[in-house]
Each structure stands twice: as structure tokens, then as C-alpha cells.
A and B are shown apart, each in its own frame.
Chain A
Amino acid sequence: MAEGSNTMHDDASGTARGRAAGAGRPGRSWGAHVAAVLGCAGVAAGVWLWLSRPGAWVGVELATGPAVAGLGVVLVLLATVGRTAILRRRAALARERAAALAAATLAAEEEARAARRRFLRRLDHELKNPVTALKALAAQGAEGLGGYRAWATAGIQAQRMARLVGDLRGLAELEVSQLDLEPVRVDEVVTEALDDLAEAGHEALLPQRDVRVYLPVAPWPLPEVNGDPDLLRLVFHNVIGNALKYTAPGERVEITGVEDAQRVIVEVADTGRGIPEEEAELVFEELARARNVADLPGSGVGLALVKVIVQRHGGEVSLRSREGRGTSVRISLPARGGERAEPAPRTTGDAR
């Protein structure tokens, strides 16, 4: 799951389709089979008893043969009826399952189309302003007006669009690029991300927030995960950065790490402005930003990157939030298993 050529697409519909194909075949109905066998045996026994009357044993009634044969016939009839009913019911069930699968696939395709429409709308939104500004500048320039300041503004618009291209390209590459895996200590990665945030332009934010970090030392530290340390650091850089950005001075950010059943789980929670309920799922989409954060800068790719990276590492990311109360982002990664090992450099011979 954390290997090179994995794609993000869900293949649940594929496997479900396989299961549905199998269900169409009639299954075993051993009760009906046994009854049929016994019935045939009975018919055969009855006929034999009746035919062997001349040498009949003492005490065997004349009617026994036909009686047994008759019983046998009844059993065979019952078996046939029963089996037909069973087969009909299986076929009906199979039809129902196929219909449900088709409906689910259609729904998934429709959802994918809707997600794409949402993305295109957001891309439209991101582009229309810089393009409008450039058109206005060009119109000015055509009349010989503008000057240095106009060109500087044009440069800024160009830079905006360049950032957009770069962000989207980075996202697309991450979905398919080769990951260089090694044992990674998540607690170290989280701490490094915090240090990076403290340095690079968030100096004002960090000291003004009440940041608490709970990473276990007892009974032992968090197990290692298999991953790319740079990408995992980026994940926490983005998530913790968001927590800092969307809280007001004095508000709380809590970072908690736990180990649970072979998984390493880190939650980053804040008491900030939160996300409106209907947008909670959508914020992971590319370029998506909740409507209540228009006052703050943001590219809209931060959480999309987090989702891609976490999923490529075989993990899951989810969030819960209440507008006006706070948000919690939960990242779950599969643990490496076994004791902590020294990260061993590997030869690069078969890296590709």
C-alpha cells in the first residue's frame, strides 16, 4: 500500500463485482440431494421387493414392495419441488445483489463526477481573479497607462497562478511517485514539524497559542512506522499549521499520540473556529477551503496533500469539528511491528 505504483482509486466495486458473479451460480442444497437419493433408493428397493415376490421371504407382505416404491416416488417429488424452490430463491437473491451493486457503482460514479465538478468550480474560482486583474492591467497598458506598479501587480498575479500550478502538480505527482520507505519514528517527526513551524514564519503564532504535546514515553515510545520521513513531516506540518492558523491567541492546541492495536494514532485538536458541518468531509478535496476561513490565506491543497500521503502510507485520516468550538484531525498509521530497529541504509540496486 506504501509501494510505488499504487493508485488512490477505490477498487471495492471491483471485488464486489467478483462476488456478485459468484453468487449467480446455484449453490449446494444438500438436503434436497439426500432426499432425492433416498427416494430413488426407495423406488429401486420397492421395485426389487415386488419383483422378487416369488422368492419372497417369510413375513414380507405383498404390499410392502409397492408401498416402499410409492414412498420413494413421493420423496423424489418432494426433493424436486424443494430444489426448484431453493434454486428460484437463490436466483432472486442474486438478482437483488446485482441490482444493489449496480446502484452502488452508479452512485460512486455520480459522486466522482460531482467531486470533479466541485474541483473545476474551485479551480475556476482560483483563476478568475488573477486573470481579471491581468486583463485590466493589459487594458491599461494598451492605452499607455500603468507604469512600474502595474507591472509589479502583473508579476504578482503571475506568481499566484504559478503557485496554483505548482500545488496541483505536486499533488498529482504524490499520487503515483515512488516512496522511499524506511523506519520512521512518528514522535520525532511530529516534534520536527513543530520546530519547523516555530522557525518558518509562524514565530508569531506558536508562542501565542497554548500548545500541549502528549507523546508517550511510558511504558515505551510509539512504535515506528514504515514511511518516508519527509512526507510524514509534511503531513504534520500541514495539520499542526492549520491548528495554529485557525485558532485565536490564547486558544488551545493539543497533540496526542497513542499506540492502539498495531497502529500509531496522532490527533491534533484545537479550540479554534471549527468547520461548518456540511463542509467537514469536503475540506480534504483539492483547493477546497471552508467558507468560514476566507479571511485567512491558504492554498486549499494542505489537507488534500495530507490525505494522499497518509493513504499512500496505508493509513487513514479523518476529522471531526464543531463550528465555533474546535476541530480534531486524526491520523492513523500502521505500525512497523517488532522492536525498534536502527534505520539501515539499503543498497539502491533495486530501488526502482
Chain B
Amino acid sequence: MSRPGHRASVLLVDDDEAVRETVGAYLSRAGFAVSTAADGAQGLLAVQTQRPDVVVTDVLMPVMDGRELVRRLRERGDWVPVILLTQVGEAAERSAALDEGADDYLNKPFDPQELASRIRALARRTAATRGAPADVLVAGPRASGAVRLERIGRRVFLGEREVALTPKAFALLEYLLGYPEELHSRERLLERVWGFEIAVSTRAVDPRVAELGRVLEDDPAEPTLLKTVPGGGYRVVAEVRRG
């Protein structure tokens, strides 16, 4: 939680000493109170004793891996925000990582500034918004109908009526509704939703956004769901509740 004057505390769990040293030092200079652990078991202990604001953990580690760490935390009701440092590839894996209770993930190798900015975003979350990933996200109320997204069955409803979206448009909507206050650039969406590390042009994003606007009846002149910010990207303007 970021109260003025409070340094957010980060627990960095990674079995690679070079990563702990260099990334730890970077985060320290970036203004966080940093502690480290060398494997999942030590990490679990550290969360209990130190109560960090955010946990950043690698996945492949001896003794206990990062996924198991997250599972154990969630099982005992600890919803401390967790970022997985991992090679999470396609959409299915990303969804699985989030379903298991991680809040965010970052592929290695990463820019340390990116990690710092993600930690800050998570640290801003209050206790009220922490918790299990919502199975249902509702955006509304809106004039043309509230948008209801059911993650388990992968269904979308506009008001009472179910609507059909292509798989990519669904993934895009799911991602956008998950981070409602933020401005998402096309590049960021390409990286997070499409998941390629190859150069696919941002042209891929606009048609899916257009599809969402069309199917979910969002007036481009006065959008009540998704707003295009000129030169910046997209932002969800509806109020999003977790169901």
C-alpha cells in the first residue's frame, strides 16, 4: 500500500545470485525496500515474517518453484500481489498463471524499469481490490447495456443477450477489463495480449478494438466502454466491478 512517505517493500525471489544482486540493487535505487530469497521455500517463509507489499518471484527454482509458492500463499488466504518472472508464452499459459493466483507476469529478459513500474502499479492496489482473480467482470452500467465477461465459460453478455467475439477480441476484452484505470498503448497490448516477441505490427490491435466497439455497441463519438486516446492507446472508461 502506498501511503505518502512509505517505501513500498518488495521481496525478490530468484535462485540466480546475479539476478538477485543486480535487480535487487536496481529496485533499491528506484525507491523500494528490497529483501531477497533464493528459492520458493525461503520465499514463503519471508512472506510470513516480513509481510512485503509486493512479491516478485522467478518460476523455475529448486526446492519450490514460483507457481507452487503462489499456490501455497493463496491456499492460506494470503493475497499479497505477486509478479511472476517467467517465460510465459501463449495466451493459454498466461491465463493459467493468472488463474493460479499471480497478479502479473514479466518475461525474462526484461527492462528493470518495466519491473519497477509494474511493482508500483501493484503496490497501489488497496486491500479492498486484492483477492482471487474475478471469474466475472462487469463493465457498466451503460446506455447500450452492461458488459458482462465470464472468464470460466469464456462468454460475453451485452445486457441480457450473449454476444459472439473472436478469440483474440475476447482475450483483449478480458485484459482491458482487468486493468480498467490504465492507458494501454498498442505496443503494450500487442505484447500482453498477442504475446509475440516477434515484430507483428500494431495494425493487429485496431481491428479487434473495432470489433469490440461494434459488438458491444460502443458509440465511437461518445464511447461508454472503451475510449481511444489519440497517440496514446486505449482506456476502459466504464466502471468495472468484479463479480
Contact = CB atoms under 8 A, between A and B. Distances in A.
A and B held together in a complex:
yes
A234 B200 contact: yes
B196 A170 contact: yes
B170 A348 contact: yes
Contact of A345 (B87, B169, B201): B169
B89 interface: yes
Contact of B197 (A169, A196, A346): A169
Contacts of A348: 154-156, 164-167, 170
Contacts of B203: 192, 196, 233
Contacts of A352: 92
B91 interface: yes
Given A158-B109, A347-B155, A348-B155, A167 B165 contact: no
B194 interface: yes
Contacts of A259: none
A348 to B, nearest CB: 4
B90 A177 contact: yes
A173 B169 contact: no
A230 interface: yes
B239 to A, nearest CB: 24
B201 to A, nearest CB: 5
B89 A180 contact: no
Contact of B166 (A165, A196, A346): A346
Contact residues of B: prevailing secondary structure:
loop
A348 B170 CA distance: 7
Interface in A43-60: none
Interface in A228-250: 229-231, 233-234, 237
Interface string B172-198: 000000000000000000000011111
Given A169-B87, A237-B201, A349-B154, A180 B168 contact: yes
A155 B198 CA distance: 20
Given A178-B91, A345-B169, A166 B197 contact: yes
A65 B162 CA distance: 90
A240 B170 CA distance: 31
Contacts of B166: 180, 182, 345-346, 348
Contacts of B154: 348-349, 351
B164 A305 contact: no
Given A192-B203, A230-B194, A230-B200, A173 B165 contact: no
Most chain A Cβ neighbours within 10 Å, of B87, B154, B156, B198? B198
Interface in A176-197: 177-178, 180, 182, 192, 196
B168 A167 contact: no
Contacts of A261: none
B5 interface: no
A349 B166 CA distance: 10
A134 to B, nearest CB: 12
B201 A196 contact: yes
Interface of A: 158, 161-162, 165-167, 169-171, 173-174, 177-178, 180, 182, 192, 196, 200, 229-231, 233-234, 237, 301, 305, 345-349, 351-352
Interface of B: 87, 89-92, 107, 109, 153-156, 162, 164-170, 194-201, 203-204, 211, 215
Given A230-B204, A347-B165, 14 more contacts: A158-B109, A165-B109, A169-B197, A177-B89, A177-B90, A178-B91, A180-B166, A230-B200, A233-B200, A233-B204, A237-B201, A301-B198, A346-B167, A348-B167
6 contacts: A167-B197, A169-B197, A234-B200, A345-B165, A346-B167, A348-B166
